[in-house]
Amino acid sequence: MTAVPEKTSHSVSQPRPNYLGVGGWFYAGRYSIERYLYILHRLSGLGLILYLLLHVIESGIRMQGAEAWTALMALFTSPLFKFFEYVVFVGFIFHALNGLRLKLTELGFFLGKPAQPVYPYDSSLKRHRPLTYALMALAAILIVLGASSILFK
């Protein structure tokens, strides 16, 4: 006969299921700028994957002949597609520089010296926040320069 464990007052409770789903990607609540950059990084990554798929499809049109290719290229010179080209450029610049920031942080750069975990805890996020601001400022400069090159030809 096996012994039945007794219930204690400090038993482990069941974890709550995630009710947020995909909406949890967009809920940043009380989080800092890094959380918003994380959300934008995911969205820009998904957008770049979509662009890559559309680019492969667009390149496949060339197999349908010169007339189809010429018609498609004429469509791509419209202002709407110039705007979409700029959106892809913005997504690429942001994703690349934010990815650089994430890799530098993951490798331990800009985190500062280890400190004793004394309450209130000093967040390591504040230690690499200047890197965040610098790379996002560089992204903003490149995005503005890209606008002058792409949109105002």
**What is the tally of structural domains in the chain?**
1
User: Is residue 126 within a helix (H) or strand (E), and if so which, with residue range?
Assistant: none
Q: Range of 137's domain? A: 32-112+120-150
Is 66 a residue whose pLDDT tops 60? yes
- Domain assignment present for 6: no
- Domain assignment present for 140: yes
CB under 8 Å to 94, separation ≥6 — which residues?
40, 41, 44, 139, 143
- Domain assignment present for 65: yes
Between the CA of residue 76 and those of 1, 50, 151, what are the distances in Å?
A: 78, 17, 13
- Domain assignment present for 11: no
Span 2-38, pLDDT tens digits: 655 555 555 556 666 666 677 766 665 666 788 889 8
- Domain assignment present for 101: yes
| CATH number, domain containing residue 78 | 1.20.1300.10
- Domain assignment present for 9: no
Span 82-131, pLDDT tens digits: 899 999 999 999 999 999 999 998 888 877 777 777 776 666 667 778 88
- Domain assignment present for 91: yes
pTM of the model: 0.71
- Domain assignment present for 2: no
